Amino acid sequence: MDRIRIIGGARLNGSIPISGAKNAALPLMIASLLTSEGLTLENVPRLADITALLRILSNHGVDYSIDGKRPGAVQTTGRTLHLRAKDIVDTTAPYNLVSTMRASFWVIAPLLARMGEAKVSLPGGCAIGTRPVDLLLMALEKLGASIDIDAGYVIAKAPKGLIGGEIDFPKVTVGGTHTALMAASLAHGHTLIKNAAREPEIVDLADCLIKMGAKIKGAGTSRIEIEGVARLGGARHAVLPDRIETGTYAIAAAMAGGDVLLEGARPELLQSALDIIASTGAEITSTNEGIRVRRNGSGILPADISTAPFPGFPTDLQAQFMALMTRAGGVSRITETIFENRFMHVQELARFGAKIRLEDDAAIVTGVKTLKGAPVMATDLRASVSLVIAALAAEGETIVHRVYHLDRGFEHLEQKLVDCGAQVERLAGQG
């Protein structure tokens, strides 16, 4: 397994192109199962999770091709992916494919809506909590599906097609809302989703479904209405920029100091996080090209955060923000309200000399003057990148093990950091 070696201390100066959002690209790719016509997605990032989902979609009968490089395209230009599910050849998503990535469970919605049946293994994914699928299944039942669980598989059936209904989520769920949107688009009649997730990735999926012929109103609010249609057609859609990648590099620049332009980033996708990062002493400005983050000379100020569904502070930036707070001039309190077990990075940050104490659903971070490089390893994607952020500001050498977590969600991470002057290299093989 590859490792990443980082020598801390360099400031970050330069431009970082922001990639297409992983968490938008995944449901968009899954939406290709809803139609026999072609779906073309632009600005798709090169990530292990995308490759894994392509394997799963192929298994259901999706043909795909990826455009070669165009003149002027650089390594970080997003790819264009052509997907076509002319015929669904298999409505089963097996354990060996689904177990590695939770989002792949969402294929249940288009398979059921288009074919009247789906058999999908219960999901796996990052180790950040129990992450049940009860709300996704509740949504499908509200649309008339029968659901059975047998030998680790969910068997969903709606032989006469799905029927519009009212889905009232007791808790905001991104996956539940994606699933409900896709299923209701092909259901007979009207569906109302209450307490829907408002994340930008939901809006991106809804925009694409609308291009495919779906009738959806209210995406981006907590009340979405869908009028089902008999069939959906092909479309072309560009994946929105990755707000979590944007926030991660904004925090990295705030941590290491320097002056970085996050090219193509859109501030409205992560305003609450940008406000908090600015409150720690970084200067953040929006430009025509993206978001500029600067911290020159000033110390890092402490700040309390509590994660929340959009438009609140994203749970997917909690670990990175905690890394920043380890060097703040004071105490900060970081409360995680979305996932019950998303503090796996705490013990790894401690290896750098960080002072963090856990108290129920909060981490109390007492900033220290110096972090020291160390060998570290993380168990999930965002936790791994928090270790990279700590390493950028730590004295000496850090080796980050289990880099495959980073490869799942950060396109060309080392290259983007090296281009801004960081000392980062990938060591192939072993450990």
Phi, psi of 362 (to 5 degrees): -130, 155
Q: Which is nearer to ligand EPZ, 139 or 374 (CB)?
A: 139
CB of 282 to ligand EPZ, least distance (A): 23
User: Which one among 191, 280, 315, 384 touches ligand EPZ, defined by CB under 6 A?
Assistant: 315
Cβ neighbours for 174, distance < 8 A, ≥ 6 positions apart: 23, 197, 199, 201, 202, 309
User: Which one among 60, 79, 102, 198 touches ligand EPZ, defined by CB under 6 A?
Assistant: 102
User: Hey, which residues between 368 and 427 contact ligand EPZ (CB under 6 A)?
Assistant: 381-382, 409
User: Hey, which residues between 172 and 191 contact ligand EPZ (CB under 6 A)?
Assistant: 173-176
CB of 315 to ligand EPZ, least distance (A): 5
Alpha-carbon span 403 to 428, nearest angstrom = 10
- Closest alpha carbon to 418 in 47, 46, 79, 6: 6
CB of 202 to ligand EPZ, least distance (A): 9
Identify which range of 74-82, 130-138, 292-300, 421-429 contacts ligand EPZ by CB under 6 A: 130-138
- The reply to whether 134 sits near ligand EPZ by the rule CB under 6 A is yes
User: Hey, which residues between 17 and 36 contact ligand EPZ (CB under 6 A)?
Assistant: 23, 26
- The reply to whether 132 sits near ligand EPZ by the rule CB under 6 A is yes
Alpha-carbon span 13 to 260, nearest angstrom = 5
User: What count of other Cβ atoms lies within 10 Å of the Cβ of residue 263?
Assistant: 17
Q: Which is nearer to ligand EPZ, 273 or 394 (CB)?
A: 273
Concatenated DSSP letters of 71-139:
TT--TTSPEEEEEE-SS----EE-HHHHTT-GGGGGGHHHHHHHHSEEEEEPP---SSS----HHHHHH
The single-letter code of the amino acid at 297 is G
User: Hey, which residues between 251 and 270 contact ligand EPZ (CB under 6 A)?
Assistant: none
Active site (annotated) includes residue 126: yes
CB of 101 to ligand EPZ, least distance (A): 8
- Decide: 128 and 113 in contact? Cβ < 8 Å: no
Question: 211 exposed, middle or buried (CB, 10 Å; 0-12, 13-18, 19+)?
Answer: middle
- Closest alpha carbon to 199 in 312, 329, 342: 312
- The reply to whether 168 sits near ligand EPZ by the rule CB under 6 A is no
Size of the site for ligand EPZ (CB under 6 A): 24
User: Hey, which residues between 335 and 354 contact ligand EPZ (CB under 6 A)?
Assistant: 338-339
Alpha-carbon span 323 to 5, nearest angstrom = 17
Catalytic residue among 12, 57, 126, 270: 126
Question: 95 exposed, middle or buried (CB, 10 Å; 0-12, 13-18, 19+)?
Answer: middle
- Decide: 354 and 366 in contact? Cβ < 8 Å: no
Query: Omega into 27 within 30° of 0, i.e. cis?
Result: no
Identify which range of 145-153, 169-177, 202-210, 281-289 contacts ligand EPZ by CB under 6 A: 169-177
115-140: b (≥16 Cβ within 10 Å) or e: bbbbbbbbbebbebeebebebbbbbb
- The reply to whether 124 sits near ligand EPZ by the rule CB under 6 A is no
Identify which range of 38-46, 126-134, 187-195, 371-379 contacts ligand EPZ by CB under 6 A: 126-134
User: Which one among 5, 82, 131, 333 touches ligand EPZ, defined by CB under 6 A?
Assistant: 131
User: Which one among 16, 28, 108, 133 touches ligand EPZ, defined by CB under 6 A?
Assistant: 133
Give the helix/strand (H/E) hosting 225: strand 223-227
Identify which range of 39-47, 123-131, 235-243, 386-394 contacts ligand EPZ by CB under 6 A: 123-131
CB of 321 to ligand EPZ, least distance (A): 14
- The reply to whether 313 sits near ligand EPZ by the rule CB under 6 A is no
Q: Which is nearer to ligand EPZ, 84 or 382 (CB)?
A: 382
Alpha-carbon span 30 to 101, nearest angstrom = 13
CB of 197 to ligand EPZ, least distance (A): 6
Catalytic positions: 126
Interface residues with ligand EPZ (CB under 6 A) are 23, 26, 102-103, 126, 129, 131-136, 171, 173-176, 315-316, 338-339, 381-382, 409
